[in-house]
Amino acid sequence: MPPETTTTSRRSRLTPERERELYEAVVDLLREVGYEALTMDAVAARTRSSKATLYRQWKGKPELVATALRQCKPISPADIDTGSLAGDLHELVRLHDESEVKRDQELMRGLSHAAFQNVELFRALRELLIEPELASFAELVQRAVDRGELAVDNPARAFVPHMVFGGALTRPIIEGIDPDPEYSHRYIDAVVVPALGLS
Amino acid sequence: MPPETTTTSRRSRLTPERERELYEAVVDLLREVGYEALTMDAVAARTRSSKATLYRQWKGKPELVATALRQCKPISPADIDTGSLAGDLHELVRLHDESEVKRDQELMRGLSHAAFQNVELFRALRELLIEPELASFAELVQRAVDRGELAVDNPARAFVPHMVFGGALTRPIIEGIDPDPEYSHRYIDAVVVPALGLS
């Protein structure tokens, strides 16, 4: 059963369109004011909802923010299927570049700062955003195993997300600039492909 | 000329012992209160110096903090020389584990948070801490090229620091736990060694 079905049944008071609208408003607010300054009052005002509805449906601000980010993600790695693992990773970069990635880098940076100071946010982001995202990513990797492209016991197999996200995360620190598509494609070819023994 | 010589001549009013004491006090204060709350007044009081001396010698808080972190670093990658690149990287992990790495992870997390909100700190950290550290790391990699262990045009060569630091940076986000030596050694063998085509 896809996660959307569970979400809808759990939150049956809102139509999918209304939910979508609400998630987008939360992400817009996050971009405008950051996590710390975002209030449930502001979300309620922006979306013309009652705070009671927001708390009933999402429990609290950390859960609402993490769910909104997950639902507004434009790309699901599991949906990418080019026929090779290297091709899938390059396609992931390409799709990411088409989305609003520049604004998202600022957003995710602010959010990761907040997460290391706020244990509820850290937990909500891991449970509602990162773990589902990693599960989707694991499907993409599993297909390479199923195709016989990657050995089940390849020691780098468990580290595909670390490699992919690590290349992006370290560039600002090491080179002083944000990753761009040219960099990400180069990193995949220079690091991820040989580490996995792909050709 | 080693960087220490330059430092001493530029800051000739303080003995190396006094400088060392001052740097350690700055790092202690950073651990206690974080970058934002650290004041030059507090550094002056803790080290029984005048604020005028601090500003004359280090220009400002970002430069003082970045220099103190650099000078208090227990390990210089260029000094490691086990005879193989894989050996050097494992030795780096081992030496790091002997130092006060657990406290440093908290410290560097807080600092990277501050650096993305404060352009002077970001610049000072890059110039006075990260770039010298990367230069030292590049010496370690260059020795592998000189030994014939690594081809000059190996595409992963420029990404050794990204791989090493990326593995550590992504673990808390992806697995929810900080890196430990077992993890770091495993990451080197599973990712860095094959990406570089070492055996």
Question: Is the predicted pLDDT of residue A105 greater than 90, yes or no?
Answer: no
Question: Is the predicted pLDDT of residue B8 greater than 50, yes or no?
Answer: no
From B130, B161, B194, residue closest to A195, measured CB to CB: B194
CA distances from B110 to B35, B103, B134, B197 (A): 7, 11, 21, 35
User: Tokens 């405008």 sit at which residue?
Assistant: A32
Lowest mean pLDDT among A26-40, A89-103, A115-129, B117-131: A89-103
- Band of residue B5 on the pLDDT scale cut at 50, 70, 90: very low
Interchain pair A165, B170: CB under 8 A: yes
Confidence (pLDDT) at B87: 98
Question: Is the predicted pLDDT of residue A82 greater than 80, yes or no?
Answer: yes
Confidence (pLDDT) at B2: 44
Confidence (pLDDT) at A7: 47
| Shortest Cα distance, chain B CAs vs residue A48, angstroms | 32
- Distance (Å, whole) CA B164 – CA A67: 32
Interchain pair A116, B116: CB under 8 A: no
Question: Is the predicted pLDDT of residue A4 greater than 60, yes or no?
Answer: no
Confidence (pLDDT) at A63: 96
Three-state SS letters, chain B: CCHHHHHHHHCCCCCHHHHHHHHHHHHHHHHHHHHHHCCHHHHHHHHCCCHHHHHHHHCCHHHHHHHHHHHHCCCCHHHCCCCCHHHHHHHHHHHHHHCCHHHHHHHHHHHHHHHCCCHHHHHHHHHHHHHHHHHHHHHHHHHHHHCCCCCCCCCCHHHHHHHHHHHHHHHHHHHCCCCCHHHHHHHHHHHHHHHCCCC
Question: Is the predicted pLDDT of residue B73 greater than 90, yes or no?
Answer: no
**A with B: how many residue pairs have Cβ under 8 Å apart?**
93
Interchain pair B163, A166: CB under 8 A: yes
If one counts every other C-beta atom within 10 angstroms of the C-beta of residue A22, the result is 26
Confidence (pLDDT) at A103: 62
For the residues A13-32, what does the mean pLDDT come to? 90
Domains and CATH numbers, chain A: 1-72 (1.10.357.10), 74-199 (1.10.357.10)
Which residue of chain B is at minimal alpha-carbon distance from A188?
Answer: B156
Interchain pair B166, A161: CB under 8 A: no
- Distance (Å, whole) CA A61 – CA A59: 7
Task: Mark out chain B residues that contact chain A at CB-CB < 8 A.
Answer: 109, 112-113, 116, 126, 130, 134, 155-156, 158-159, 161-163, 165-167, 169-171, 173-174, 176, 186-187, 189-192, 194-197
Confidence (pLDDT) at A74: 75
CA distances from B40 to A177, B110, B117, B126 (A): 30, 18, 19, 21
Confidence (pLDDT) at A72: 87
**Cα atoms in the 13 Å half-sphere on the side-chain side of A38:** 24
Confidence (pLDDT) at B113: 80
CA distances from B114 to A77, A92, A109, B178 (A): 32, 31, 11, 20
Contact B162, A167 (CB under 8 A): yes
For the residues A169-187, what does the mean pLDDT come to? 93
Confidence (pLDDT) at B75: 85
CA distances from B83 to A135, B22, B91, B146 (A): 40, 36, 11, 11
Select the more confidently predicted residue: B11 or B39. B39
DSSP A128: I
For the residues A83-98, what does the mean pLDDT come to? 93
